[in-house]
Structure 1
Amino acid sequence: MHSFAAFAILSTLGSALAQNVSICDKYTTALLKDNNGTNQYTLLTLLVNTVVIGNYTQPNKNAVPGILTNGTYKGEDVNLLPYFNGALKSSNRGGSSGVSVNFLDDGGAAPLKENKPSNTETSHQYKLLTHLYQFFGKLLGCSAYNSSGFPAYGGRDMASSHAFMDLDTAQFGYFVEQVGLAATSFGVTEDDVTTVANALQKLFGYRCSPNATVIPEQGMTLNSICQNADCPLDPNPTCAAYPNNGTVMEPQAVNATNNGTTPTSSGTTPSGTTSAGGTEFTGAAVAQSAGMAALIGGLVFAMFV
């Protein structure tokens, strides 16, 4: 995929549905009224947290297990939790090898259900979740991005972030499937979910994709997330630009697995409310939030680490 194609995809994801207003700005206004940096960041927090831990706001149209829950994709078992809880040496913080990092080290699901990334600002969990909010803000055209209330993205490019994860097609597909559930829970149509899933596949789902600009502040970067040998090869592959010609060794397991616990989204907020100042997702607001939910939910996979 050439850089021009990448720009076209990002333009589609970040453009307005009408009147040339960005997705972020439109639905911040629809759901939270005042379109400022704080509210834009709150909106992204609500939707990203739902994709990660599943349903925790009311009402919703269908169940969303969340990407931390085990499942299957086309008959293959999928378990993404070890990439989050430190059970695999899959983080890129070890230089030429993966290392184990627990990204659920500061409360797990509990603070997410309170519309927060974590309990403190010094944890791995805080860094991961805030990078998610920031990344989405730029892609979806938040007008307050990199201003008061909405900090700029502070993470790495996608290929570097996933360099030691060895994600395969089933794992990538399962995530996109969960994204679809999250999107439809906010009222997104199946056609819209398919459109977003196709865009995600083109941008992140091919092995050895050539560099392209995703976050303008970073310039041209490599962006393949699906780097396992079974991932489809990009139509314009540049494998030599990736470590080991675009293939990743399977990450090694470690003994610690966060005590074997899995954060869940039980204990949802009271019906008709969220924790963000009692914001109510009902009626027309749910319908208006559909496009935003789909796009933000769909892009979360891009920021595992």
Structure 2
Amino acid sequence: MLYNKVVLAAAAATAVNAQRPSDESICDYYTTALLKENTAENQATLLTLVVNTVVIGNYTEPNVGIKVPGILAPGTVDGEDVNLMPYFSGELATTNRGGNQGVKVNFLDGGAAEPLKKNMPADDDSSNQYFLLTHLYQFFGSLLGCSMQGMSGFDAYMADPSMYEVHKFMNLNLAENTYFIQQVGMAAASFGVAEEDVTTVGMALNSLFNVRCAPPATAVKAQGPQLQSICIDEKTCPLADNADCALYSGQGGNSTTTTTTTPTSSAMPTATGGNGDGGAAEPTSVPGGAAVVHGLGLGALVAAVAAFAL
């Protein structure tokens, strides 16, 4: 992607005040609002800015002043310390590579934060970091209904269809999974996304990923219904509505209970401030220099948890 040729629209700073048409996806709407032309390359740029901020925290300037630590920085959720870094650094044997147990994989082997500050996934195209970040761009692009995805400039997501299978050896608890979702919400808010929209994406992400034993649901339309529960820890993760733990029986610590429990409100992302003392990257300039409003999640996710793309 030629980021040095990207020019953000002058109206980007006020885009949050506009009303998105109900028949236009979040990805399409905000790509046009921020980057003038709704092209596959511009959609990929939008998702790169969003995801990189979620991972390393604030690195773009200007923003609206909300501090985003990023998922690699330590934090707290409801008084519980959270540190997701070991899942990415290869310290823990939690990556599913097709065996019966997790293996250690370093997902920061492509330059860590430095290439992300330059709006890149990694400093090469063969590292674990490169594949992780590009898959995240593609996955969130599918969730947001990017209509140009799959064309030259923005590849379609064709990796693992089940987020449960990807994360099952991590045994994530409620605080850890909540922290990730909070970073998504704060990243959106830091670029001016309305509080109502941040709440909307939080509700949708919590319903799909932050519960145990959820029945198959569609995250990527082309891949159909899959097991998507990422919150696995029996002691802390609430059961999904219509939970079917038999589908997860014997895997990742899920029980066979089918009681229904609603996720707690503490799992909602906040639009004000960060968790912990930061660790976010030093700000650099967003291409074009305009204030950015990322439509991350928003209304595209509220219509149905089982069908994200509009």
TM range (shorter): 0.7 to 0.9
Report the secondary structure of 1:72's partner residue.
strand
248 and 114 in structure 1: CA distance in 2 versus 1, 3 angstrom threshold: farther
1:48 matches 2:73: no
164 and 139 in structure 1: CA distance in 2 versus 1, 3 angstrom threshold: same
Q: Which of 134, 141, 147 is the aligned partner of 2:145?
A: 141
Q: Which of 71, 75, 80 is the aligned partner of 2:75?
A: 71
Q: Which moved more, 1:230-239 or 1:123-132?
A: 230-239
Return the structure number with greater helix share. Answer: 1
235 and 265 in structure 1: CA distance in 2 versus 1, 3 angstrom threshold: closer
How many residue pairs get matched?
257
Identity %: 54
TM-score scaled to structure 1, two decimals? 0.79
Q: Which of 247, 272, 281 is the aligned partner of 1:266?
A: 281
Question: In the TM superposition, what is the alpha-carbon distance from 1:139 to its structure 2 partner?
Answer: 1.3
Corresponding residue of 1:238: 244
Report the secondary structure of 1:220's partner residue.
coil
- Counterpart-to-counterpart distance in 2, 1:163 and 1:204: 12
Question: In the TM superposition, what is the alpha-carbon distance from 1:183 to its structure 2 partner?
Answer: 2.1
Letter aligned with residue 106 of structure 2: N
Letter aligned with residue 36 of structure 2: K
- Counterpart-to-counterpart distance in 2, 1:236 and 1:19: 29
CA contact (8 A) 1:92 1:161 kept: yes
Please give the residue correspondences for 1:99-138 in structure 2 after superposition, counting only pairs within 5 Å.
Answer: 99-138=103-142
> RMSD of aligned C-alpha atoms?
2.2
CA contact (8 A) 1:208 1:237 kept: yes
Question: In the TM superposition, what is the alpha-carbon distance from 1:206 to its structure 2 partner?
Answer: 1.1
TM-score scaled to structure 2, two decimals? 0.78
State the 4+ residue runs in structure 1 displaced beyond 6 angstroms: none
Q: Which moved more, 1:171-180 or 1:193-202?
A: 171-180
Q: Which of 27, 33, 37 is the aligned partner of 1:30?
A: 33
Please give the residue correspondences for 1:276-295 in structure 2 after superposition, counting only pairs within 5 Å.
Answer: 278-282=287-291, 286=292, 289-290=293-294, 292-293=295-296, 295=298
CA contact (8 A) 1:164 1:248 kept: no
Question: In the TM superposition, what is the alpha-carbon distance from 1:113 to its structure 2 partner?
Answer: 0.4
- Counterpart-to-counterpart distance in 1, 2:143 and 2:184: 17
Deviations 1:232-277 (A, max 9, x none): 112212212125156269xxxxxxxxxxxxx9543421xxx32xxx
